[in-house]
Amino acid sequence: MGKTDSGKFRFTLSAKIMVMFGSIIIIMLVPLLLLMLYSNNYINRYDRVLSNISKLNYIEKITAAQPQRILNYCIINKNINESGESEMIADMIQYISDIKYEIGDEEAYAKNLEQAVVVENLLNNYLQNYREGIGLCGENFSLAGDSRFYTMNDISGYISANCSLLLNLEMQRSQDIQKEIAGDYNGMRINIVILLIFAISVAVVLVVFLQRGTARPVNLLSKKLAVIADKDLTDTEVSVHSNDEVGDLANIFTIMSSNLKDILEKVTIVSNGLEKSFQEVTKNVEDTADGSEHIAKTVDYMLEKIEQQNHESRMVMTNIENITGISHKIRSNAESILLSAQNSINGANEGSDKLEDYTKQLGVVNSVMQSITHMVDELGVKTQQMTDIVNTITEISEETNLLSLNASIEAARAGEAGRGFAVVAERIQKLADNSKESAEEISGIIKEVQNRTLNMADEMKQGLIQLEKGNVIAEETKSSFREIGQSVNDVDVQIQEITNNVKIMLDVVSSTSNNMETIDSVMNDTSNVTKEISGTVNTETSNLEELTATMTVLLESTTELKKTLAQFKL
């Protein structure tokens, strides 16, 4: 939808399509939104029931094991705050309160609410006994609160039984919700089908309306285009009153066909004048082309003779350049050999110095290897001392284990009063067992270290033998480097003589090359001037030939254009 130049609003084609699809989408979204709202409501109700079931399972599980766990804490005097039992009881009280709130006041589930109240009362009694028990104990659990904690154990049985009853009632409530969801879903499905049928009907009506508003003008334009394609421009007006893009297209078509008719009439007038002009220009070009062709043949003959002379001169120049290149290569190779020889002398001297340093370093390494061998021997003595210490630890752990056994026997004789002492005896026995196992592991590790120490000592001795052999080889290598240096010095003198002779020959060749370059430059200048003359003549001849061909093509095109224009009805 938009405003025209006259200020009136018009309903465009794109706006029509947008309204049609928007209407369909809105109609289809309504049932989907309703379905989402109902589904979300039922899912929340079902999730709350499942949450109640989970909380009841938690209460039943905690109350079944907590009293006995607290009685065990009394034996070992565990800290009350660190045990976390108070937080668990507080969570259970909060859970049963949440369950009551979620059940609500519905008459159908009055039994569920009554059973939740029973469980809540039992949990309050459970909590009261726990508080009295820890009030007697102090900061740590102790046997002073046993009576209250035993009462908690009795109450936990009632809590478990009533939780099971409430759990069954909540399971029944979840089934009722499932049936309600299934019934409402069937009704919602029927409503959605009705709404979809309505949406499809509206879509069909909108499509028919859009088709009638656009198809008729388009068909009319198609017929007019077929007439123009048949080269008939006598009737080009199209009457379409649609106030959208199709109406704009019809107006543009009318303007286009009128402009096309004007252009064809003007082209017909121009083509008649071009035909006469092309005939006159073609005759003048043919006369000029004959004279240019005679001049081009004469210049080509002169250029051929100059090229022969220039070719001979280039051959001589090429030979001299080859000799010069070879001389440069010989000189370069000689200088490279001389540089390599000098580098070899320097490398031999440097290698001799490095070998002398290497020999000194081998002496230092030999001394270090001897020191390491001595330290390995001392390590063997220390590991033997560690073995004796581990044996002593093993004997102590065996004695501790025996004492723990005696303490357990005495605690068993003492009965209930010796229960705490029995726990301590058990801890001592575990400590003794762990000490014995650790001593055995340490003994195994020490044996492995001793074996590796012995192997290391043997390897160090072999290393000392190899170092002695390395000293001998280094002395022999140093002598060989001295001989190489002397031989390279002799080669260096001979290469310097070759380099001097090559320099003399290169000077002679360079002088000859300069003379030939002067001759070649003069010949090139002459050849270039002749080529420029020949090129100019050839260019002019070629241009005249191209112009003649172009004029011929244009004349033919003008004739064809006249024939084509004659086919149109203006």
pLDDT for residue 123? 95
Q: For position 335, what pLDDT does the model report?
A: 74
- pLDDT computed for residue 472 by the predictor: 72
| 2-3 vs 9-10, strand pairing mode | antiparallel
* Burial class of residue 551 in the structure, from the number of CB atoms within 10 Å of its CB (0-12 exposed, 13-18 middle, 19+ buried): buried
| Predicted confidence pLDDT, tens digits, the chain (570 residues) | 555 555 555 666 667 677 777 777 887 677 677 767 766 776 777 788 889 999 999 999 999 999 999 999 999 999 998 999 999 999 999 999 999 998 888 888 899 999 999 999 999 999 999 999 999 998 999 999 899 999 999 999 999 999 999 999 999 988 888 888 777 767 777 877 787 788 788 777 777 766 666 666 667 667 667 777 776 767 666 666 666 666 666 677 677 777 766 766 666 676 666 666 556 656 655 665 565 566 466 557 656 765 775 676 577 467 657 756 755 774 676 577 567 657 756 775 776 677 677 667 767 756 766 775 677 677 677 767 777 776 777 777 777 778 777 877 877 777 777 677 677 777 777 877 877 787 778 678 768 867 776 776 677 677 667 767 766 766 775 676 577 567 657 756 765 775 676 576 567 557 646 765 764 675 576 467 557 756 765 775 676 577 667 767 766 776 776 777 677 666
What is the secondary structure of 415-438 as a DSSP string?
GGGGHHHHHHHHHHHHHHHHHHHH
- How far, in Å, CA of 392 to CA of 386, rounded? 10
Question: Residue 79 region, left (φ>0) first, then alpha (ψ -120 to 50), else beta?
Answer: beta
Query: CB neighbours of 313 closer than 8 A, spacing ≥ 6?
Result: 516, 519, 520, 523
| Residue 519: per-residue pLDDT | 44
